[in-house]
Structure 1
C-alpha cells in the first residue's frame, strides 16, 4: 500500500500544472491550481507543430483569438472539433449556436481540452473542481476500476480451490460417518482440511513479487501507479511509442542559416541554452547586423514568432523556440521590440505557413515563414546579399528547392522566410 501511495505522489508531481496567465506582456507561467482566480486573463496556444498542443487548464471565455481551433472531445459525448471564433481584434462573447448545452458554447475554452491550432486569450470563469472537467471527474468517482488479468486469475484460483477443497472435505466427512466415527471429530477434521487447503500466504507472495517489480522499474525511472500494472507490463512483447517528448526531448535546434544565393552560416549549440552556441560564416562571428544577408533572415524568424525562452525553457512551439535561441545567439532577439504586431495568420497543417502584419515606424510590414514549397508559391523575388531585390526565376527556385531537399535528406527541418 505504501508503494502505491508513493508512486501516486510521484506521478502527480510530474503533471504539468502551469498555464499562461496574461497579467503582463511576457505571459509568465504560474501554478494555475493555486494562484489563478476567477476573472484572471489566461492565454493558451498550440505548442507543437502539426498536432494537438497545450492542454487547457481552466474554463474561460475567449475574447481574442488568432485562428484558434479547440478539440472539445472531452467535454461532449461525441468527438468533434469546434472553432473558437474571433478575428484577433474583437472576440465573440456569449456567442453560441443551438441549445443551451455545454457542447454548443463556441467561445468557451474547456479545461482538459487540447488546442489544435492557433492561440488565444480569455477570462477565467471557473477552475479546478468548478470547471466542466471537474464535473466529469465527479461523475467518474462512482465508477469502479476494472480488475486486471492477474486479479481475475486470482479470483478464479480462489473459487477453484474452494470448490475442490469443500468437495474433498464433504467426501471425507461422509466416509467418516459411514465408518461410524464421531460427528464432532469429523467436523474438526473438515475444518482443519479447509484451513490447510486455502493458501493464506499466496496474496502476500503476489504482493511482494509485484513490489519487487515496481522497485526495479523505479530504479529505471519508470513510475508505476498501481502494482497490478506490473503484471500487464510483463506480458508486453511490442511497444508502440510516440516519438516526440517520449523517445526524444521535444527540443529543436537551429543548425544553419542559408541565403537564397547559397551562402551558409553554421550554428553551434544544442537545445535552448544560449551560452553554448554561436553563429559563424567562414570563420567570422555573425553578431547583430555584421552580415546583413543572415541578419535579415534571423530577424524575420524572431519577429514572425510566438515563442519565448525563460530559464532555458521554451514557452511555445519547439521550432519557434529554436529560432528565438538563434536570434539570442546573434544578438538579434531585441528586434521584436521594434515591431508592433497588428494582425496574425497562424500556422496550420493545411496552409503550412504563418504570417504577421507589423507596424514599423509608421510603415506596414508583412513577415511570412513556413514550408519551402508553400512559401515559394507566394514569392516572386528575393533579397540578395547586397540588399537588392532580385526576381525569383526558375533557376533560383530550383537552386533553393535542391538546397532544401539536401537539408531534408540529412534529417533537418527547413523553414523559408
Structure 2
C-alpha cells in the first residue's frame, strides 16, 4: 500500500496547478488511504502466478475473459482476468483489472470489487474506473473520508463532470469539510438552471455556520419568477432582520398569487419594521378584501395608525373590530395602548408636563384593560397594563384643583368624544 500512497501523492501534486482549490488539503487524506483499503489484498488467484507463462497464453486468457465480459457472463470472465493481471507485465493487465473490477461490481460482490480496485491502483493509480468504483463503494458504506480522494482524482481528470462534482461536494459536506461550499458554487456556475444545486448550497452554507442570505439572494435574482426561491429568500431575509430585502421576493409571491394572505401579511410586517406604516396598512386592507371579518388585521391597521399618531383612524378600526367580536380582548388591549400613546404624544407635541386631562385619558385606558381581562387569553397581560396605568389616572387632588371634570385639551377632543 505504501507504493499506491506514494503514487497518489505524486499524481495529486502534479495536478495541483490544475485544481489547487480542491487539492489544497488532499495530501493528508491520501496518506490515510491505507486505512481505507481492505486489510488483505492477496487472493487465491495469486497462486496462478507462473514464471514461464507465454505472452500468447496471456493474450488468449484476456480474449476469453473479454468474450465472457461482452456477453455479461461476468462470473466466467473473472478467472481469466485474474490470470492476466497476475501474470502480465505488458499491455493486457491494465484493461484486465478494470474489467475485473466492473465484473465484481456487476455481480454485487462489493468486497471483491474493492480488493480489485486497490490492487489495481497499486500498479495503475491513474485508472479512472478503479477510482470510480472504489469511491462509489466507500461512499455506499458511508466511509466518506475514504471515498473523497478517489472523487478528487476523478475531478482532476474530468473537471466538468457533473456527477463527480455533485458527489464530491456531497462527500465534503458529509465529512464536515467546508470545501463543500466552494465546490457547490463551482457546480452552480456550470449548471446555473439546476434549482436543487442552489438549494444544497444554502444547506451547506447554513450547516457550516455561514450566512446563507447571499446564496438565497443570488438564487432569487437568477430566477425571480421561481416561487420557491422567492419564498426562501424572503424568509431568510426576515430571519436575518433584512426587512428591506424581503419586500421584493414577497412582492413576487403576491404578484403570482394575489390572495396569498401569508405573503401579504409578511410584507406588511416588513413595512412596519421599516416604519412604512402606510404601505403596511395598504397590505392589511388587501387582506381584509379577502377576509373581511379578520379582527386581528383590523387591530394591526389600528396599530399602524397609532404609530403615525393618527388616533382617530386608529380608534375607528378598533371599534370596527369590536363590533364584529365584542368578546375578544384584543381590541380592548390595543385601544388601551392607543390611549397611552396619545398621552405621550400630546405632552411631547405641546412641550408640557402632566395635567388632569392626561389622567382622564389614562382612566379610559384602564377601562379598556379591565374589559380585556374578561378574555382569558389576554387576562395576564391586561392586568400588567392596568397596574401600570392606574397610578397615572386623575387623582382626587387634581379633580379638586381643576376647573373641569372632562377632557378639554384639543389634542384629545379631536378624536375622543
Taking structure 1 as the reference length, what is the TM-score of the superposition?
Answer: 0.21
Higher relative contact order (CA 8 A, sep 6+): 1
Give the number of the structure whose alpha-carbon radius of gyration is greater: 2
Structure with the larger strand share: 1
